[in-house]
A and B are shown apart, each in its own frame.
Chain A
Amino acid sequence: MTDRKPTDGKPEGGSEGHHPTPHLDQLEDGPWPSFVTGLKRLRDEGSPGNRKMMNDLLGQLNHSYENRLGYWKGGTVSVFGYGGGIIPRFSEVADKFPESKEFHTLRVMPPAGYHYTTDVLRKMCDIWEEHGSGLIAFHGQSGDIMFQGCTTENTQKAFDALNEIGFDLGGAGPALRTAMSCVGHARCEQSCYDEVRAHRTIINSLLDEMHRPALPYKFKFKFSGCANDCVNAIHRADFAVIGTWRDDIKIDQEKVKEHVAEKGRKYTIDTVVSMCPTRAISLNDDDTLEIDNKSCVRCMHCINVMTKALSPGDDRGVSILIGGKRALKIGDLMGIMVVPFMKLETDEDFEKLEEFAENVVEFFADNALEHERIGETIDRIGLPAFLEAMDIDPDPNMVNHPRTSCYVRTDDFDDEAAKWFERKAREAGLQISAE
C-alpha cells in the first residue's frame, strides 16, 4: 500500500478534478430529495473507490443530459454458480469517463413485504461502500434492491458479502423474476391470505429457474392481499395472486351509523352506495347498510371507504390471474382470471398453490415460443387449451361474458355440459356433507 493523500480518489484537472455538471446542478433545488445531491456526496465524501467512480458517473450522466442520449451497453457478467441476476453495464464513452466504465447492477431479492432493520441497511451500505459505488435503489420496478455501480472485478466480492448476510440475487433475462408482495398480513386488515408464506413458498421452490435462466422469456409472480392490488399484479405479473373471500362482507352496523353521522347521509350514499359497481349496497332508513353479497364482486371499494365498519369475510383465500404484461410484442395484456378461488390456510393448501405454480411455469417452459410471455402463449393457443393442460374446469368467473362469435365447433357440447352438471352436483354434495 502506498501512502494516501487526502485528494486520492479524485481525478486531476477541473475544479478539484470534478467534471462540470451544469445540467445536473439544476436538479438540486426544490423540495423533493435530490438524487444528484446524493451522487455528488458520494463523489466528495464517499470511500476512495466511490469518489472516482461517481465523479465519472456524474460526468457521463451530464453528457447524456447534454446530448439527450444514453451511453450504456450490456454484456455478460455473472457470479459463480449463477447465470443471471447481474445487469452488466459498460460505458460507450469510457474514454471520457474511465472510472465508471464498468457500472453493473446487482439485483438482490428483498425480504417479502420490504421489511428491514436499520442494522441490515447499514450492513448493505458498508458492503456497497467497499465494493460498489455507494448508490442503492429501494427498489427497482422488478422488485429488487438495486445495488447500482460495480466493476466486473468487484461483482463477485459484493455478491459474496451480500450473500453472507442472507441475501440472494434476483432474476434477469429469460428467467423467473424477483417477486413482489404487499405489506399484507403484517399491517393491513384487508389482507386475505399470508402473502409472505405464499411469496416465499413459490419463489424459493423455483429458484433454479431464477438463477440459471432457461425459460423462453421472463416470468413474474406478484402477491396482493386483496383486490386493491397494491403491487400491481394483474397488470404486471404473469402469475398474479390476489386475496379474496367467498362469504359475506362483515358489517359492524354501529360503526356504519357512526360513519354516516360523521360524514353525512348524502356523502355516504354518493361515495359508498352509488359507487358500488354492482349496485349491491343500500343504506337503510336507520343508517345501517344492507349488502347483497351474492351480487358483490369483492372490489374492495366500500371497505376502503368504511375501514372501521366493513371488512372482508371470514372464508378467505386467493384468486389467480395468468398472463399480465406490458406492450412487447402483441400489445398490453392483463392477467386472465384462471383460478377464481383457492383456499390458502393449511399446509396442504400451500402445497397445492406451489404445485399449481410449478405446473404453470413448466407449461410455459414447454410451450411458449422464444421471447413469448405466457399471456401471449394463451392468446395464441386459446384459453380452453391452457385450462385443459392445467386440468382446470371452465368457470363463468373467467369471462366478462360468454363468446359472441359463432365460429366454433360444438358437436361435443352435450359431453361438456354433462361435466358441468356433474361438477355442480359434486360441489353441492360436498356442501351437504360439510354441513
Chain B
Amino acid sequence: MTDQAQKPRMPDEVGVPDPFQYMHPVLKANYGNWDWHDRPRPGVLRHVSKSGDVIYTVRAGTQRQMDVFTIRKLADIGDKYADGHIRFTTRSNIEYMVADEAKVAPLIEALESEGFPVGGTGASVSMISHTQGWLHCDIPGTDASGVVKGLMDMLHKEFVQEKMPNRLRITTSCCQINCGGQGDIAVNVQYTKPPKINHDLVANVCERPAVVARCPVAAIRPAMVNGKPSLEVDEKKCVCCGACYPPCPPMQINGDDSTKIAVWVGGKHSNARSKPTFHKLAVANLPNNAPHWPEVKEVVRRIVEAYKADAKHWERMGEWIERIGWNRFFEMTDLAFTKHHLDTWTGARKSMNMSAHLHF
C-alpha cells in the first residue's frame, strides 16, 4: 500500500445540511409566505400560502427507533403519495406533504394499513418524547421505547382523534437527568436509595475531585476504604439524584428494586396564555415493572381521564390544575399528597402558598 492510501480521510466539515435540497417543492416555493392553516381532520393539516398554493400534511406516529425496513416502507409510501419528500416533527412523528388533495385519503389508508397511526395534531395526545433507556444508555434506570410502546398502545385512541381539551404532551426519562424534557405528564425514573459503591474500582475509574464537585448537596467526600482511595457518601444528606453515577460508574445508583418511577404533571413549553412551566410531582415510588409498567399506566390513565373530563377547551394540564386547585387534582386522580410534594430545594419558598387563597 502506498502512503497515499494509508492517509486517513479527513472529514468534510459541512455542518448543518441545507434543508432546501430536501424540502417539498411547494414548501420551498412558499418559504416565509404562508397565510393560514386549519385541520380538515385529525392527523391532517392544510396550509394555504399567500400565493394561493395549498399543501396538505398527513402526520403519522412511528416507533422512533426504526429498522431500515420500516424506514424504506415509509419512503415507499412517500414516493407513491407525497412526491418523495417527508419530514419529522420534534416528537418523532413523520409528516408527508401532499399538494394534491385527492392523494390525502389514499395516503392515510396506506399509512394505517401498514400500522402507522395517523394523528398527533391539535388537541390530541401526540407521540411521547423519550430517551434511550436500556437499549443504548450507559446510566438508565429503566427502558424508554418499551414504556413508551405500552403507554402509546393505551393512548392510541387519543392520538388518532382530537378530543382532549388541548394538546397533551407526555415525556419519559430513564434517569433524573430527564433527557425526555418537561411535559404535561412526565414519567421519570426516581431513585430511592443512595449509590452502592464498589470501592475496589473507584480509584481506577473515577476522577474523585470531579465526582465530589458533581454532588448537588455536598454529600460525597474522599475516603480511604480497605486501604484504597475511594469515596464515601453521607447517606443522611444524599438526595439519591444519581448525579455522581455518570462520572463514576462504580457508584451504582440503579437497583432492581430501588429504581422507581415518578409521575409529574403540568410542564409546558409553549408561551401561549400562561408562561412556560416546569412539571410538578404527582406521585413517586411506582414500581419499575417491565415490560408493561401497569402501575405507571394506571396513574397516567387516571390523570389523562381527569384532565379530559374536566379541563376547559385550550387549557393545558398545568392551567387546568391551577384553576381547579391541587386539592381537587389529587382528589380526582385518587393520588396522595405527601410531605414529599413540598419542595425543599433552592427557591422552594416561591412554590408555597403565601396568601389566603384556598380551594375546598
Residues in chain A within 8 A of chain B (CB atoms): 23-24, 26-27, 29-36, 38-39, 41-42, 45-46, 50, 57, 61, 64-65, 67-74, 79-82, 87, 89, 103, 105, 109-122, 124-125, 128-129, 134-141, 148, 156, 159-160, 163-164, 166-169, 179-180, 182-183, 185-189, 191, 194, 196, 199-200, 203-204, 207, 211, 227-232, 234-236, 242, 267, 270-271, 275-277, 298-301, 304-305, 307-308, 311, 326-332, 334, 370-371
Contact = CB atoms under 8 A, between A and B. Distances in A.
Contacts of A307: 36-38
The winner among B15, B23, B136, B288 for most chain A CB atoms within 10 A is B136
Contact of A163 (B12, B241, B259): B12
A331 B347 contact: yes
Interface stretch (B61-69, B100-108, B228-236, B326-334): B61-69
Given A42-B68, A72-B138, A136-B71, A117 B16 contact: no
Nearest to A64: B134
B66 A141 contact: no
Contacts of A114: 19, 87-89
A27 B291 contact: yes
Interface string B3-27: 0000011111111111111111001
* 10 A-B pairs closest in CB distance: A30-B153, A38-B67, A64-B134, A111-B19, A227-B271, A118-B75, A204-B15, A189-B34, A32-B152, A125-B68
Interface stretch (B142-150, B192-200, B219-227, B298-306): B142-150
B181 to A, nearest CB: 6
Nearest to B243: A328
Contact of A32 (B63, B84, B179, B313): B63
Contact of A180 (B90, B149, B241, B345): B90
The secondary-structure label for the interface of chain B is: loop
A35 B347 CA distance: 41
Chain B interface size, under 10 / 10 to 19 / 20 to 34 / 35 or more: 35 or more
Contact of B271 (A73, A228, A328): A228
Contacts of B131: 141
A161 to B, nearest CB: 10
B11 A168 contact: yes
B270 A228 contact: yes
Interface of B: 8-24, 27-28, 31-32, 34-38, 47, 55, 57, 61-72, 74-76, 78-79, 84-90, 92, 94, 97, 115-117, 129-143, 145-146, 149-150, 152-153, 156, 176-182, 210, 213-214, 216, 241, 243, 249, 254, 256-257, 259, 267, 269-274, 276, 278, 288, 290-292, 312-314, 345-347
Nearest to A47: B68
A203 B18 CA distance: 12
Contact of B16 (A64, A164, A179): A179
Contact of B272 (A71, A167, A301, A328): A301
A334 B275 CA distance: 11
